[in-house]
Amino acid sequence: MVLTKEINSFLLNKGANIVGFADLRLLGTNFSENFNFGIVIGLKYSKKAILNNKNGNLNQYYKEFNELNKRLDELAISCADFLEDKGYSSSPQLRNQIKVDDNYSSKLPYKTLATLAGLGGIGKCGLLVTKDFGSAIRIIIVLTNAKLDCGKPIETSSCPYTCNICKNICPGNAISGRVWIKGIERDNFYNANSCSESAKMYANEKLGVNDTICGLCISNCPFTRKSLKY
């Protein structure tokens, strides 16, 4: 479909590293009467940020974490404007507008749309794992009523059953080692509360900031290391 290609080219030219398209109707629930499709936009971390973090220096990773979030918001707004100019309705799902519950869950997680778009599966650490960038990527979504050509949903993780690198490196023991498949509850393989609490302590220890930053599972993931070649 021409529109899908136009959106993809527009976002890549704007600096996106990865773009995907998802059919929300596959969720089996009416998330929105107005928006049946979602656009997933991703930006990757630099090799320097990931390597430094792996070696105990969190500064570059934290800097890029904030920079990528800002750039993703800008890309989402630009994408929404692009769609509006073509006569479609859209809703950029900016981070400061996303409501999460006490278990750090939201109504429509970015990662859910990414799996529907075929960009990757969910790793044992609860993060999106992509073919091109491993888990060294941050994403955002834009909802729209524009009909799009969508990717083939991914329903199983690419993580080997025998790999427990992220489980062993996690300072909060948040990772069970179980493998994600479509439909499994997050709490059955990953503890978001333990992750958050340990990441707050890690950020305070390494950076002296009151924030939730760690990324050790990302930096040590074999898929990330393979994609960034280190």
Averaged pLDDT in 10-residue chunks for the chain of 230 residues: 96 98 86 84 98 96 98 98 97 80 65 96 97 96 97 96 97 96 92 96 96 97 90
Measured distance CA(49)–CA(108) in Å, rounded: 28
Give the pTM: 0.93
What pLDDT score does 99 carry?
62
Residues 6+ apart with CB under 8 A from 207: 58, 59, 62, 213
Sign of CA dihedral 98, 99, 105, 108: negative
Residue 29, C-beta contacts closer than 8 angstroms, at least 6 positions apart: none
pLDDT recorded at residue 150: 98
pLDDT at site 100: 57
Q: What is the b/e burial string over 7-35, where b = at least 16 CB atoms within 10 angstroms of the residue's CB?
A: bbebbeeeebbbbbbbbbeeeeeeeeeeb
Domains held by the chain: number: 1
The parent domain of residue 185 ranges over: 2-228
pLDDT of residue 229: 84
